Structures are given as structure tokens and as C-alpha cells.
Amino acid sequence: MRHIISVLLENEPGSLARVVGLFAQRGYNIDSLTVAPTEDATMSRLTLVTHGNDQVIEQITKQLHKLIEVVKLQDLSESAHVERELMLIKVKATSGEQRDEVKRCADIFRGQIIDVTAKTFTIQVVGTSDKLDAFIEALKGSAIIEVVRSGVSGIARGEKTLTL
């Protein structure tokens, strides 16, 4: 099962290495990882996408908790939440027909064309990971040159929070 784990982490040197090291040492999967400071600069917020059976996920959350610099964590996928990922994708767009096709596709996915040259389009798409996958799939016909994905960020819906 896919899980999205949000972690509040002391923003100290080496604390991120400790989180990543834990996953490597214990053989847990990391599908994506994003990290940046919060409104409080002494704390970072980390969003980790992983998969495993219930027992593995339980161990992951417990082992993360054991890290001295982990302040709090939450398995977002356990309740209602919003998740978003940002993708920048550069595609070849030379002929008029190609350019129209890419534009149409971008519109359907509510993507924005953020850079244009005579030979390329760069499109920004935001959404769930599934949506980004679908967009890549839809563009398979045109030549994709480069893909950058931010990894998932997520937040719980409603009153539920992950704050101090």
C-alpha cells in the first residue's frame, strides 16, 4: 500500500541524512521525498511517499519517531488529505500540428505553458501523482525531452494538523 508520511523535523545539519539513512539501512522504499523549512525556520517539513504492508509502515513510523530530531509525524494517507505534486515537462514541438496537439493536451490537464521556443514547449502541471502520470502517458506520442517532478507534498483536510 502507498503511504504519504509527513514529518516535522528539527532543521539541523545532518537531520535529513538521518531520515534518508534510516530508509537505506532498514531497506524501506522511498518513492518520493520533499523537504523545505516551514514558517518557523527552526523546523523543516518533510513529505515522504513510501509503500509496504501494514507491518512495514508501522515500523517506518516507529523508527522515524525514534530519530531524536523528528518532532512529530503523521501518516496522511490514513485520513482525508490533499496531495499535490508539481511537474515541469519539456517536449519537442516543431510542426504546427505538434504544437496544437501539445497545447490541447496541456489544456485538458490544466497545465500551463511556461516557456516556448521554436522547437520546444515547457509545461507546468500540478496535481496528484496519478494525474501527472496520466499527463506523461497522454504526451507519449510527442517526444518528451525532459521531466522534472517535485515529489508529493500533502496536508490533512479540515481541522487535522501537523504542527507544534
| Interatomic CA distance for residues 16 and 4, integer angstroms | 17
Task: Name which of 23 and 126 has its Cβ closer to other proteins.
Answer: 23
CA torsion angle 144 93 137 103 (round to 10): 140
Interaction between residue 13 and other proteins (CB under 8 A): yes
Residue 53 in the binding site for other proteins (CB under 8 A): no
> At its nearest, how many Å lie between other proteins and the CB of residue 89?
35
Give the CB-side neighbour count of residue 73, counting CA atoms within 13 A: 26
**Amino acid at residue number 103:** K
* Cell digits of residue 45: 517539513
Q: How far is the CB of 142 from other proteins (least distance, A)?
A: 44
Comparison of 44 and 129: residue with beta carbon closer to other proteins: 44
Which residue in the set 40, 51, 59, 114 belongs to the binding site for other proteins (CB under 8 A)?
59
Can residue 37 be called a binding residue for other proteins (CB under 8 A)? no
